[in-house]
Structure 1
Amino acid sequence: MIESLTAAVTSAPADLTLRLHLASLLVEAGRGPEAIEHVATALAAEPTSVEARELMARAMGTSPAPAPPSAPTPAAEPSEPSSGFDWHAAESDLGERVGPMFVDGTTEDPGPAPYDVEQVGVRLADVGGLTEVKKRLEASFLAPLRNPELRALYGKSLRGGLLLYGPPGCGKTFLAKAVAGELGASFLHVSLADVLDMYIGQSERNVKELFEVARSSAPCVLFLDELDAIGGKRSLNRSSGARTTVNQLLTELDGVGSDNEGVFVLAATNHPWDVDPALRRPGRLDRTLLVLPPDRDAREAVLRTHLRGRPVERIDTRRLAKATDGFSGADLAHLCESASENALMDSVGSGQVRMIGMTDFDAALAELRPSIGPWMETARNVALYANASGEYDDLATWLRKRR
């Protein structure tokens, strides 16, 4: 009988009733050490089992330890102290219940690390100005996505992504969010801090996890911000970790081993000439779009947007738009903040709250200068001396118009 039950327990190790019956027969046969092994396994799975505790006490030649408070037992007659192991004291010292020694491997994979995947509510109509940029964005990216029948008719592939470049503070990130809003897709913003890691191999794993999160959240716009920092030219990187991170990014963009269906890759950079050329090959970030500082009408729209909700009086936004030629969207926001600050400090000094007027803007304009000057110098050198392939013709055309 013992041999038969031993074989049965081997076949069904999780059957605690069968295991305890075998332990009882072993105790009756005087084979206490073998019984202890089976009872200990049962107690690991069910620490409050009264039957298992009694069997353990019999196997060790001691009286059973008292049951836990949740299942009180009648008081037993005092007995002679024994030299056996005090299981109750051990459980009290241990504190919380210990997990099982072994698992069957059926627990679900926790999946990739969580990142901030957000739902955006902005559309292209919410972007002030940039009319030409919106038209090109619609023609090169949004129209094929919205018209699958025409896309199939003309054989238009959805492979590849879009690279937004231009001076800093001109709304590239906001445009990317607006694209996600137009597509009704979630938005995953990837920056250098999300990728770079001090340990070897971890940066590559971070890139892989970010793309896995985007695929699991499809449809999703994966936005690679400051691409020149994440995917800089490998020929200029002395660090092997930086080069292998770019290699992993190329692998994920190609969809090797995974399907990027429903993942729309957008990237932004102020310095596209510092981006690794392999990232801009066909099938990757093969389309580029120059995002320029706002024109006069766009500057007026941006100013009205930033003045919305502020206590303003008789503000001539047309005159301000004319006086702020060369200002980026961020510069215009800073101008509104400076004018508001002038009015606030004047109200604090006088003790009387007043409205924001043109005098506040005139004072702010006397102190502020466009912030895109250094970028303009670098861009002019690139357009003049590093544009043999013609990839910066649109930039060169715009720079000639500004002379």
Structure 2
Amino acid sequence: MTINKDKSKVIKLRVAEALQDDAYKGIARIDFEIMRDLGIRRGDIVKINGGRETVAIADKAYPADVGEGIIRIDGIIRKNARTGVSENVTVERADIKEAKKVVIAPAQRGVMVQGDLKPGLLGRSVVKGDIVVLGGVKRRKDLMGDDFGMDEIFGNLNEMFGGMGIGSFGGGMQQVRFLITNTNPSIPCIITENTEVVLSNKAIEISDESVPDITYEDIGGLTDEVKKIREMVEVPLKHPEIFERLGIDPPKGVLLHGPPGTGKTLLAKAVANESEANFILLNGPEIMSKFYGESEKKVRAIFEEAEKNAPSIVFIDEIDAIAPKREDATGEVERRVVSQLLTMMDGLQNRGKVVVIGATNRLNSIDPALRRPGRFDREVELRAPDKKGRLQILKIHTRNMPLMSALRLSHVNNKLLDLEKSIKELKENQRNTKDKKLLELRFEEINSKKELLNKLIELSKKLFDDEKKNMEVMKTLSNDEFTLLDSIFKEGMMNDLASVTHGFVGADINALAKEAAMVVLRRLLPKLELKEDEPIPEEYLKELIIHKKDFDDALKVVRPSAMREVLVETPNISWNDVGGLTKIKEELKEAVEWPLKFPESFTRLGIRPPKGVLIYGPPGTGKTLLAKAVAKESEANFIQVKGPSLLSMWVGKSEEGVRKIFERARQVSPCIIFFDEIDSLAGKRGMEHGQKVTERVLNQLLSEMDGIEDLSNVIVIGATNRPDMLDAALLRPGRFDRILLASAPTKEGRKQIFNIHTKNMPLAKNVNVEKILDATEGYVGADIESLVREAAMLALRADINSEKVEMKHFEGALKKVGASVSKSDVDRYRKIETEYLRSAKAALEKPNEYLG
């Protein structure tokens, strides 16, 4: 163990939150140039001093942080250093010694801990009085390398393949915070294999400092929202002098709104922890009382307590329960509580030291008087996360799980492409950089990425498309090579999961991770013989590893919570199940699949994807089947709307139904809304027999499809067999951009449909398919399906034990099942296409012209 005795340099840096990969592992990210000035390298220990001194392992800053003068540390290190995000700390090289003895105790009440905790603390640098969590050992080992006497610190910990071992130590214990009550020696030291770790079973109360249960590192997918909340809540509580200098009052309240499960309560708790404010939770329904005046009294008591213990955050969860619109409130109690809440929020004497945060998923149900400046000054919407946000949330909920990465060569190839792209961008930046120091850093970064690229190219040559073969290859690699590939495989697996969890909010992703763990448990439970007094044997615990397949199985059970009311199941129909209609399939792929799968291509060419596709044609041609296939192939959420089911006898209910469908589709985008029999909803306006309700529904549909609010990543597909009944405003560009005719199939199309419906049917050798196809001229898909079914039924009627369907059965079926679409019907649709839809199609070919 190296001990530095030189006088070290001290540098002041601004604190930023850590990213998910570094959270709770005792790591500080510092600019390489600053590391050089401090005389340290990656893996060295640094002292961090805010209001208190603590220690962490140094690692290189992310490329985006270079030259910014920041240090990225997680919530535990921030608490240990008595500092917060955007505050300044001093950083210097630490004199570090090996710990001979460390005494730790749980830092939370009601926690009893047993067992050896040393494996989860190896490589952790600590000071007496620090709060620590278990885990992150593998990451520290990779970072510290041989320079710190790796074997001495970590002992023999290389039997980690398969997800158990140092990478995943601790399980649920990683949620528990521990306090370092004593160290020998008493200076900053590092826990090694030789350290004696003594566990005090009695939890130690930390009187003056609350233990940070939730920090900003526990929140994923809400980067912008966290920034907004911090500037409105944390800054006024910590630095009210800023607002005094500006001559303005700090915000009194923030209203968080969004779908259930997006993290409204979590965000409020994290802000309270980070700002070290007194947190008072008020659940809306709890304050209601049957006694006159009791509810108002409870509201007054909570605000008085907040003022007494300022700085405070009063968090009102489900605020719509206690502050509904007074004109809509059914009871007198609700009206009085709203009035009391308005008075308390306006009458807060301690301005800036008490902030009220409200949370609701029914924003429009809240009394308007609460939503004015001076009460709830700002409203922050929490939407369902995008792919990047879902990836962050997945990393949070799986960081304590024993994962087995999907060993796919495609993940390594994707990483190679990302590295090449990154090197190209860095070279471009290098050309535009004139600062010498920055040029030097860019040059070093390019070289390190090139080195990594070459290393990965060599490793990729050893890998196969077969995961089992890759498992064997991984066992032959060195520690460094194994760690590199393991991190890429894990990142790739998380990326794949983030790509297919459209519309999932944070709570859904948490449920997905739990369900994947339960899948593993169900698989292993039959092998276990559970006895009440005996612990589960270690060899069984080591088998509890979560694979990609377990997440795939969990995805079949866990659906986006916003879709539970409208979605029964994702269609299980692929393009291969749709026979004929080749041209329409291609058009649908371009109009629906491409915008959802390759949005960057549309952005690159400066065009917007189509908003809607109208499929029309005779009954039985496969219009609904096409919509289901495109939903499955594009991996989008699918909402099917049956036209007549939206119509209601109550005024405004039908329009509200349309509005809610589009609102939900935006929440769970990318999403396909499929209107079956759209002519029942969107008939021509002004027709004598037309009903006012359908006109109102049509107006709502028109404004939703191309209104003021942009319809992003939501595509509308309509199906009808009466396109001549549709209102002309629906058929203009910006609403239904593609109008496709699903006509009776050609002979080749009929052959494809026939093959699809007979693929599981044993046909006799005498079945003449060509003859059947010639006889089915004018048959649509539904007719061919009916013909095949009837032929099979005739075979069973002749002999219930029949094993094959013969030609005579098809001949008999042809006499019974005729074409449901006559030649006159086909001519009528062609006429509609040439006459009625010609103007709409012409407009689509000239998108610059506006037809209103």
Q: Which residue of 2 aligns with 1:94?
A: none
**Measured at CA, do residues 388 and 294 of structure 1 come closer, stay the same or move farther in structure 2, by a change above 3 Å?**
closer
Question: What is the correspondence of 1:8-157 to structure 2 with a 5 Å cutoff?
Answer: 41=294, 108-109=360-361, 114-116=565-567, 118-157=569-608
Question: What is the correspondence of 1:362-401 to structure 2 with a 5 Å cutoff?
Answer: 362-373=811-822, 375-382=825-832, 386=836, 389=839, 391=841
CA contact (8 A) 1:188 1:221 kept: yes
User: In structure 2, how many angstroms separate the alpha carbons of the residues matched to 1:382 and 1:263?
Assistant: 28
More strand per residue:
2
Q: Deviations over 1:292-338 (max 9, x none)?
A: 22222221221122123234322332322222111100000110111
User: In structure 2, how many angstroms separate the alpha carbons of the residues matched to 1:114 and 1:147?
Assistant: 29
Shift, 1:119, TM fit: 2.1
CA contact (8 A) 2:731 2:840 kept: no
How many matched pairs?
300
**Measured at CA, do residues 202 and 152 of structure 1 come closer, stay the same or move farther in structure 2, by a change above 3 Å?**
same
| Amino acid in structure 2 at the alignment position of 1:340 | A
CA contact (8 A) 1:166 1:291 kept: yes
Shift, 1:128, TM fit: 1.7
Matched, 1:193 2:644: yes
Instruction: Tell me the SS of whatever aligns to 1:376.
Output: helix
User: In structure 2, how many angstroms separate the alpha carbons of the residues matched to 1:254 and 1:385?
Assistant: 25
Matched, 1:336 2:779: no
Matched, 1:180 2:631: yes
| Amino acid in structure 2 at the alignment position of 1:200 | V
| Amino acid in structure 1 at the alignment position of 2:755 | R
Higher mean displacement: 132-141 or 157-166: 132-141
CA contact (8 A) 2:617 2:743 kept: yes
**Measured at CA, do residues 317 and 391 of structure 1 come closer, stay the same or move farther in structure 2, by a change above 3 Å?**
same
Q: Deviations over 1:33-63 (max 9, x none)?
A: xxx968x959xx9xxxxxxxxxxxxxxxxxx
Higher mean displacement: 262-271 or 114-123: 114-123
CA contact (8 A) 1:112 1:212 kept: no
Matched, 1:223 2:674: yes
1:252 to 704, 716, 719: 704
| Amino acid in structure 2 at the alignment position of 1:375 | D
CA contact (8 A) 1:145 1:158 kept: no
CA contact (8 A) 2:580 2:749 kept: yes
Name which structure has the greater RCO, CA cutoff 8 Å, separation 6+.
Answer: 1
Shift, 1:252, TM fit: 1.0
| Amino acid in structure 2 at the alignment position of 1:133 | I
CA contact (8 A) 1:189 1:225 kept: yes
Structure 1 stretches (4+) deviating beyond 4 angstroms?
101-108, 110-113, 383-388
Output the aligned Cα RMSD: 3.4
Q: Which residue of 2 aligns with 1:326?
A: 778
1:243 to 668, 691, 695: 695
Question: What is the correspondence of 1:202-217 to structure 2 with a 5 Å cutoff?
Answer: 202-217=653-668
User: In structure 1, how many angstroms separate the alpha carbons of the residues matched to 2:712 and 2:747?
Assistant: 40
Q: Which residue of 1 aligns with 2:752?
A: 301
Shift, 1:355, TM fit: 2.5
**Measured at CA, do residues 387 and 119 of structure 1 come closer, stay the same or move farther in structure 2, by a change above 3 Å?**
closer
Q: Which residue of 2 aligns with 1:78?
A: none
Matched, 1:292 2:772: no
User: In structure 1, how many angstroms separate the alpha carbons of the residues matched to 2:762 and 2:588?
Assistant: 36
| Amino acid in structure 1 at the alignment position of 2:773 | A
Matched-pair identity in %: 34
CA contact (8 A) 1:118 1:186 kept: no
Q: Which residue of 1 aligns with 2:238?
A: none
User: In structure 2, how many angstroms separate the alpha carbons of the residues matched to 1:302 and 1:388?
Assistant: 30
CA contact (8 A) 2:615 2:742 kept: yes
| Amino acid in structure 2 at the alignment position of 1:116 | L
Shift, 1:222, TM fit: 0.6
Q: Which residue of 1 aligns with 2:192?
A: none
CA contact (8 A) 2:616 2:741 kept: yes
Matched, 1:359 2:811: no
**Measured at CA, do residues 263 and 390 of structure 1 come closer, stay the same or move farther in structure 2, by a change above 3 Å?**
closer
Higher mean displacement: 269-278 or 324-333: 269-278
CA contact (8 A) 2:644 2:680 kept: no
User: In structure 2, how many angstroms separate the alpha carbons of the residues matched to 1:181 and 1:37?
Assistant: 55
Q: Deviations over 1:333-364 (max 9, x none)?
A: 1101111221222225xxx5452211111001
User: In structure 2, how many angstroms separate the alpha carbons of the residues matched to 1:126 and 1:146?
Assistant: 21
Q: Which residue of 2 aligns with 1:347?
A: 799
| Amino acid in structure 2 at the alignment position of 1:163 | L
**What TM-score do the two structures reach when normalised by structure 1?**
0.65
**Measured at CA, do residues 247 and 359 of structure 1 come closer, stay the same or move farther in structure 2, by a change above 3 Å?**
same
CA contact (8 A) 1:117 1:187 kept: no
Shift, 1:144, TM fit: 4.5
Instruction: Tell me the SS of whatever aligns to 1:372.
Output: coil
Structure label with greater radius of gyration: 1
Unaligned runs of 5+ in 2: 1-279, 283-289, 299-332, 342-357, 363-561, 843-852
User: In structure 1, how many angstroms separate the alpha carbons of the residues matched to 2:569 and 2:710?
Assistant: 21
**Measured at CA, do residues 212 and 194 of structure 1 come closer, stay the same or move farther in structure 2, by a change above 3 Å?**
farther
Q: Which residue of 1 aligns with 2:712?
A: 261
**Measured at CA, do residues 328 and 189 of structure 1 come closer, stay the same or move farther in structure 2, by a change above 3 Å?**
same
